[in-house]
Amino acid sequence: MALIVQKYGGTSVGSVERIQAVAQRVYKAVQAGNSLVVVVSAMGKTTDGLVKLANEISRNPCRREMDMLLSTGEQVTIALLSMALQELGQPAISMTGAQVGIVTEAEHTRARILNIETERLMRHIQAGKVVVVAGFQGISSNGELEITTLGRGGSDTSAVALAAALQANFCEIYTDVPGIFTTDPRLVAQAQLMNEITCDEMLELASLGAKVLHPRAVEIARNYGVPLVVKSSWTDDPGTWVTTPQPQERSLINLEIARPVDAVEFDTNQAKVALLRVPDKPGVAARLFGEIAHQNVDVDLIIQSIHEGNSNDIAFTVATPILKRAEAVAEAIAPALRSTSNPHTDEAEVMVEQDIAKVSIAGAGMIGRPGVAAKMFATLAAAGVNLLMISTSEVKVSCVIEAADCDRAVAALCNAFEIVSSPTSTPSPAPVSAHPPVRGVALDLNQVRLAIRQVPDHPGMAAKLFGTLAQHNISVDMIIQSQRCRVIDGVPKRDIAFTVPRLDGETAQKLLTEVAAECGWGDVVLDSAIAKVSIVGAGMVGHPGVAAKMFEALAQHQINIQMIATSEIKISCVVAQEQGVEALQVIHAAFGLAGNQKFVVPA
Ligand code: ADP
Ligand code: ASP
Ligand code: MG
């Protein structure tokens, strides 16, 4: 007999008929000899409707009252599903997050789960009942017993956290598509269903815009080794398994906030090549990385910064032994990348830096916790370490620094994040040979770009910037510093660009404009008309040419790349918002992910 946590999303419980169908499915699983805890979302688009009501009353409703309002949606579904089960003769009881004892931080509208009391749940289960739990909500532990919610899409997180706390045999997420696809099947009909995907890949996809799973649900599954499967609530198809490695032993106390960082890693075997002043037009990155791939040079990090005037900087890192080859390619191509508008003054220039190192913090607990990256930057600043490049992914933040600073940086980071095991030199992730290098493509239309001009090039700037935003719980993604340093009044200065969630864009701009005035930075510019398109795959490592293929697909469709940022298992490009869907489609096709079977949206 297995203990199973099942979760049904909004569409799956969108009507009386759907709730009855779900009750039948639950009943069947119980008849097969299993014990069930069922987590449900609000019916259909109820939560959106409640948000709309709030916005009709206030432009900026108080977050506590939003939680009070939004948590009602799930309460309707739990009662109705329990009734439907009872109608089938199946004993069942509904419980809100507070009644279960899903204890969270007091952070309204984005609370993290601290712990889950299992005693009451187990008592009902042992009495033969199905327990129907309201997803997305909890209760704060600060004595006030405030109702909290976990953030939009958070019912997945409730379900996986319950599975971890109850040590369930597995967690099934039932939704309105048959599993996890190579990209959103509603945007690309030829997207293909996957049988399985690693949790690291799914973490990236989820946080880069694939809303089929809440990223924090994947994080919990990864940390606690919860077997997790995504399936359709309309069919009996097997769905997609999210595979997790053997987890380290972990306490269930402070479930979502304990130990954000598992490891500090470093790599002293890196060199950086930068091309300055390349023209800002489609095809440039494709040409450069096409040639690099042709020469079989494997690049690690790639960044392309915002443009000044009509030119960009592109920088990448390679392993030191192949630096000469990479440099030769860059030198050979530079003259051809001369800006056509001003061929004489704007010639691309190659800059090489050899004595560099990459230090990283890794761990799945950083998702949606901007304070973690901020702490890394503050730690490095306090140790007097200047940052040359920054790369972020959901499970890792890496900084390229001077090689001479590496030991100091690693020691400071181990100390700050209480890493006792000795730091590891970066393990090359084992290429997943059975799979193609790119597993999935995601589109995020919910980000905006901010650029800060003329930030002095000395330690502490990234710490200040991130620290300010982290204090307001604003997550930053794709941070890119321009490669060019401009000396203004004797001070070397760089531009820094990054993306933040659309909802936080204006607040972030306001906060940073205040900081800019204090710190002598230049203008803080906001661009909301952007889209971020990303490819994800653990098999990219050791596969030269993946980046080139992505850039080439965009170039062929005259889609200009405004920013590039990579981590070991993803490459993201910022493009114009109106080209976002097309960018997703052409990249998906370029990697051969499209199949013949067309996804049909269920009625
Ligand atoms: P639920 O209400 O069941 O939680 P969601 O709407 O939150 O469902 O998530 C399911 C939706 O996620 C699908 O209908 C699909 O449009 C979207 N989606 C985005 N990317 C993917 C992907 N890679 N695979 C499957 N679905 C995806
Ligand atoms: N009902 C909530 C939402 O729409 C939570 C969820 O469905 O996961 O965001
Ligand atoms: Mg969802």
Q: What is the DSSP string of 415-459?
A: HHTT--SPPEEPPPPPP-TTS-S--EEEEE-SEEEEEEEEEESST
Separation of 572 CA from ligand 3 center, angstroms? 23
Cα gap 135→138, rounded to integer Å: 8
Return the pLDDT at 431: 47
Separation of 418 CA from ligand 2 center, angstroms? 35
Nearest Cα neighbor of 573 from 522, 545, 534, 543 is 534
Separation of 11 CA from ligand 1 center, angstroms? 10
150 Cα nearest atom in ligand 2: 5
CB 580 near ligand 1, within 6 Å: no
Return the pLDDT at 427: 52
**Is 92 strand, coil or helix?**
strand
Report residue 187 as tokens: 């945007």
The conformation of residue 308, written as its DSSP 8-state character, comes to: B
Give the CA radius of gyration of the chain. Answer: 25
Cα gap 355→272, rounded to integer Å: 9
H or E element: which one contains 527?
strand 524-527
Separation of 156 CA from ligand 3 center, angstroms? 7
9 Cα nearest atom in ligand 2: 7
CB 211 near ligand 2, within 6 Å: no
Nearest Cα neighbor of 297 from 289, 307, 305 is 289
CB 84 near ligand 1, within 6 Å: no
Separation of 431 CA from ligand 3 center, angstroms? 30
- What does the DSSP assignment read for 559-571? PPP-EEEEETTEE
* Nearest-ligand number for the alpha carbon of 136: 2
- The preferred substitution site among 174, 190, 212 for testing ligand 1, maximizing ligand atoms within 8 Å of CB, is 212
Report residue 450 as tokens: 């901010």
- The preferred substitution site among 136, 160, 177, 570 for testing ligand 1, maximizing ligand atoms within 8 Å of CB, is 177
Tens of pLDDT, residue by residue over 374-405, are 899 999 999 999 888 888 877 788 999 999 99
Return the pLDDT at 528: 93
The pTM for the full model equals: 0.89
**Is 273 strand, coil or helix?**
strand
- The preferred substitution site among 7, 8, 211, 536 for testing ligand 1, maximizing ligand atoms within 8 Å of CB, is 211
Cα gap 409→376, rounded to integer Å: 10
Can you name the residues that pair with 191 across neighbouring β-strands? none
CB 440 near ligand 1, within 6 Å: yes
Report residue 557 as tokens: 């469709």
Separation of 40 CA from ligand 2 center, angstroms? 9
Calculate the alpha carbon distances from 241 to 34, 195, 220, 236, 458 in Å.
20, 6, 15, 14, 46
| Cβ-Cβ contacts under 8 Å for 512 (sequence gap 6 or more) | 450, 452, 465, 468, 469, 524
Question: What residue type is assigned to position 445 of the chain?
Answer: L
Separation of 59 CA from ligand 2 center, angstroms? 21
Tens of pLDDT, residue by residue over 59-101, are 889 999 999 999 999 999 999 999 999 999 999 999 999 999 9
CB 180 near ligand 1, within 6 Å: yes
Report how far Cα 10 is from the mean position of its chain's Cα atoms. 22
Separation of 150 CA from ligand 2 center, angstroms? 9
CB 150 near ligand 2, within 6 Å: no
Cα gap 174→159, rounded to integer Å: 11
- How many other C-beta atoms can be found within 10 angstroms of the C-beta atom of residue 64? 16
* Nearest-ligand number for the alpha carbon of 157: 2
Roughly how many angstroms between the first and final C-alpha of the chain, as a whole number? 35
Return the pLDDT at 598: 74
Report residue 25 as tokens: 């499915």
CB 73 near ligand 2, within 6 Å: yes
**Is 131 strand, coil or helix?**
strand
* Nearest-ligand number for the alpha carbon of 183: 1
214 Cα nearest atom in ligand 1: 7
Nearest Cα neighbor of 513 from 458, 471, 465, 473 is 465
Find where tokens 């070991």 sit.
568
Residue 460, phi-psi category: left (phi > 0), alpha (psi -120 to 50), beta (remainder): left
CB 186 near ligand 1, within 6 Å: yes
Positions of the chain with pLDDT under 50: 431-432
CB 10 near ligand 2, within 6 Å: yes
Report residue 472 as tokens: 């307001």
